[in-house]
Each structure stands twice: as C-alpha cells, then as structure tokens.
Amino acid sequence: MARLRFLNRFILQWFFIRLTICKEDIMDDYNVISFDLTPGGMASRGTGNIKTYQWYSIQGWIVPTTGYESDFKYLNKSKKPFFFRLTKKKPI
C-alpha cells in the first residue's frame, strides 16, 4: 500500500489521474427466509455467503491533492471521469 500511496501522491496526481484499488462484495448462495412488504416496496430476509473481490483501476480528471481524506473532486463536472480497469476481479 505504501508504493501505491507514493505513486499517487508524488507522480500520478500531477497528470490528473489516480491508481485505485476497487473492492466489491457479492453475495453467493442466498437462501430466502421471508419477504416483508413495506409501503415503499418489498424486502427479503435470508442468509448467504459474502465474497469480496478486488481489482486495480485508473480514474481520470481528478483535481490534484484531493481524495486522500475525503472524496475525489473532478475537473469536469459535466462529463463523467474516465475509468480503466487494469486487472481482473480476484477474490481476496
């Protein structure tokens, strides 16, 4: 993690890009126990296995010196920032 932080803080941020670690939790083998009907919709209760996946990506058009203690600030608010996935999803 120290290498990633060094690379982002001292090199990549001045090119308006960041190398980021992305994580996603996916629930497998979900067993439904009951359904609840609420005024806003429907909710289910159950049990399942949660698997965490991780991959590296590059995000672009980020204002330098932002995103370390709070959210990223993007240069162009009218367009979405670009996002390139560098690696495949791998379970942790």
Q: Which helix (H) or strand (E) holds 68?
A: none
Helical ranges in 1-92 per DSSP H: 2-10
CA angle 79, 85, 89 (to 5 degrees): 135
Q: Show the domain range for 52.
A: 2-91
For all residues of the chain together, what is the average pLDDT?
87
Q: What are phi and psi of 5, to 5 degrees?
A: -65, -45
- The tally of domains found in the chain comes to 1
* pLDDT band per the 50, 70, 90 thresholds, residue 40: confident
Name the residue type at position 42: M
The separation between the first and the last C-alpha atoms of the chain, rounded to the nearest angstrom, is 15
Give tens-digit pLDDT for 11-36: 999 999 999 889 999 988 888 888 88
In whole angstroms, give the CA distance from residue 42 to residue 70: 34
Give tens-digit pLDDT for 74-83: 887 777 788 8
